[in-house]
Amino acid sequence: MRESVTRFRLLIFHGRMRLLRENIDSKHEAKLCPRCQREFICKANRIHCCDCSSICLSFETSEYIRQRYEECLCTACLQELAVLVTSQK
């Protein structure tokens, strides 16, 4: 009896954890990059988990992007623009 109660509690715990993970993941947003039209996952609600947080952009590159785009860009475009803007100096 005691073993079945413990097993039941574990199932409930794992079920809640799965729902929690699904809830967090559902907050990530599939977007189209306004520059290349490729789909990517935006994690702006958890920026420390977002792929873009690993890209270091210069002030000039950040300004270039800010002036031209209102939405997030995919990491490929961010990397391309970082090189493009820096090489135009």
List, for residues 20-71, the tens digit of each pLDDT value.
Answer: 445 445 567 788 999 999 999 888 777 777 888 888 899 999 999 999 999 9
The whole-number pLDDT of residue 14 equals: 43
Sign of CA dihedral 20, 26, 29, 30: positive
With a cut of 50, say whether residue 6 has pLDDT above it.
no
The residues near 52 (Cβ < 8 Å, ≥ 6 apart) are 72, 73, 75, 78
The whole-number pLDDT of residue 20 equals: 44
pTM of the prediction?
A: 0.65
Rounded Cα distance between 1 and 11, Å, is 15
Show the tokens assigned to 36. Answer: 């290349």
